[in-house]
């Protein structure tokens, strides 16, 4: 039976009053994973009002008490990781092992921000005036609107909600409507751990709810991960009223394989970077730049790996690649491949859209591109499609990697230290991997892109303080 979906408003789990939402299994679209009524604008209003009313009490709660709630929720997620991970796989489509790993990563994120209570909370400066000290303290920004995507339905919400709560903010959260069940699992873990009423509010429904949260005058700041198009509209809305926004947007990430690289290891990492989670990661490898001397060898290695991949139900042992999230996503990815220009060469065989139980499957695809102006090379596709081109040398490879409006992640495969140091200085990305795939982000270090891939302060690690807190400079004058 499908799981029941509910909203969380002011500490109460309640049915929505909007249209019915059905969350379906992308591997078996006839199968409903969860269903329930969505929120309306009136329920967004109640959620924001509840968050505003709870804000003073929560910010005055000792940081260690706030952290203890996060830590208890982390224990609950670890305890249920196998069950929640399979639910994640059924709802979102990534492999069950990846889903279980994501739930455990969410618990790790909660633990990191629970421990913020044990770290320094401000700074003390010397004053040029006798008898005075200068203290810089940090304070919550207030009510935070959180809008999250489908592709990491519990990890990305955790890395936004955990710091927001740890630093004393209250939250109104709108998850992607195609993955509401995992949102409910995270919210219940937090409320069951003792989160006070109104501190976290969950509203599920259409994208217009996110816009309503962003534009609400009682929402003090917004954090968003999603498409560049939607992100820019939210940035504009916040800019119109000078509201802080942190936005993680699109990517068109490059992997560079030079002739001196460990080629078998590079091939393994490029395949993982391009096709894990069916390519539906903002950090996925979607451009491959290969030095001409080894290009044929690398392309053949990747092609052979692709040909051996098993597509199918992501909860079934032996499956290598699951479906993409929706039929519309599947069709959009296929259309992008089919629209590629005459200068492209398809290197993989088989039906692009295999018929597997009517699921939303796209076969992993490798395409050689001779014209780097082709949309297959320049535009984000968000699926299991890897475009590859040849270059004569390392300098050309670095220039081509930078030749993109996006700047999220890049991978460089080389054994040359001088080239590595040059790349560290020249590549305009937020995340650089040397001899590892473009995907992956640890919770204790900053994450985020440059150029059109991001707006505002970085996420995760201690960098999260820069968005979720405001600084206050206090001049303490003692005896004169």
Catalytic residues: 248, 282
Contact 219, 143 (CB under 8 A): yes
The token pair at 431 is 């995340």
Classified as helix, coil or strand, 342 is coil
Distances (CA, A) of 417 to 94, 204, 318, 355, 413: 36, 49, 38, 47, 11
Helix segments in 140-179, DSSP class H: 155-166
Contact 93, 323 (CB under 8 A): yes
Q: What is the largest CA-CA distance in the chain?
A: 83
Closest CA to 201 of 193, 211, 191: 191
The token pair at 447 is 């994450």
Closest CA to 189 of 294, 83, 93, 304: 83
Q: Measure the CA–CA gap between 33 and 91, rounded to whole angstroms.
A: 6
Please, what's the b/e burial string for 282-297 (b: 16 or more CB within 10 A of its CB; e: otherwise)?
bbbbbbbbbbeebbee
- The single residue listed with the structure tokens 């942190």 is 246
Q: Measure the CA–CA gap between 480 and 477, rounded to whole angstroms.
A: 8
The token pair at 115 is 């421990």
Contacts of 83 by beta carbon, 8 Å cutoff, 6+ apart: none
Helix segments in 308-389, DSSP class H: 327-338, 375-378
Closest CA to 289 of 252, 253, 251, 256: 256
Contacts of 37 by beta carbon, 8 Å cutoff, 6+ apart: 5, 15, 16, 17, 18, 19, 20, 21
């Amino acid at each position: 039976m499908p799981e029941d979906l509910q909203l969380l408003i002011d500490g109460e789990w309640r049915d929505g009053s909007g249209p019915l939402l059905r969350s379906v299994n992308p591997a078996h679209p006839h199968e409903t994973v969860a269903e329930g009524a969505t929120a309306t604008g009136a329920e967004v209003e109640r959620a924001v009002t509840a968050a505003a009313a709870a804000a003073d009490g929560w910010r005055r709660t000792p940081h260690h008490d706030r952290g203890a709630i996060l830590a208890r929720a982390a224990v609950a997620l670890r305890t249920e990781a196998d069950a929640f991970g399979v639910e994640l796989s059924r709802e979102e489509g990534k492999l069950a092992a990846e889903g279980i790993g994501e739930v455990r990563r969410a618990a790790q994120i909660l633990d990191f921000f629970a421990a913020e209570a044990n770290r320094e909370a401000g700074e003390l400066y010397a004053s040029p005036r006798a008898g005075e000290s200068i203290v810089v303290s940090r304070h919550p920004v207030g009510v935070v609107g959180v809008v999250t995507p489908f592709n990491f339905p519990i990890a990305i919400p955790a890395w936004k909600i955990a710091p927001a709560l740890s630093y004393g903010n209250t939250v109104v959260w709108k998850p992607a409507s195609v993955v509401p069940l995992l949102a409910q699992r995270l919210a219940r873990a937090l409320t069951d751990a003792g989160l006070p009423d109104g501190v976290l509010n969950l509203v599920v429904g259409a994208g217009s709810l996110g816009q309503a949260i962003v534009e609400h005058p009682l929402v003090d700041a917004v954090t968003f991960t999603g498409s560049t198009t939607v992100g820019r509209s939210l940035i504009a809305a916040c800019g119109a009223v000078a509201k802080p926004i942190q936005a993680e947007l699109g990517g068109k990430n490059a992997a560079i394989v030079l002739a001196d690289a460990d080629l078998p290891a590079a091939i393994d990492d490029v395949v993982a970077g391009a096709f894990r989670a069916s390519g539906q990661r903002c950090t996925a490898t979607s451009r491959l730049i290969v030095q001409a001397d080894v290009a044929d060898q690398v392309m053949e290695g990747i092609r052979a790996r692709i040909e051996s991949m098993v597509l199918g139900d992501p909860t079934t042992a032996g499956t290598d690649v699951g479906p993409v999230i929706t039929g519309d996503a599947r069709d959009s990815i296929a259309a992008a491949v089919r629209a590629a220009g005459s200068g492209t060469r398809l290197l993989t065989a088989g039906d692009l859209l295999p018929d597997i139980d009517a699921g939303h499957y796209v076969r992993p695809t490798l395409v050689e591109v001779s014209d780097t102006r082709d949309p297959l090379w320049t535009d984000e596709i968000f699926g299991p499609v890897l475009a590859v081109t040849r270059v004569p040398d390392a300098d050309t490879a670095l220039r081509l990697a930078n030749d993109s409006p996006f700047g999220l992640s890049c991978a460089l495969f080389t054994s040359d230290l001088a080239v590595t140091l040059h790349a560290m200085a020249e590549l305009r990305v937020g995340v650089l991997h040397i001899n590892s795939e473009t995907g992956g982000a640890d919770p204790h270090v900053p994450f985020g892109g440059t150029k059109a891939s991001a707006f505002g302060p970085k996420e995760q690690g201690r960098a999260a303080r820069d968005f979720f807190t405001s600084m206050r400079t206090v001049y303490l004058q003692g005896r004169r």
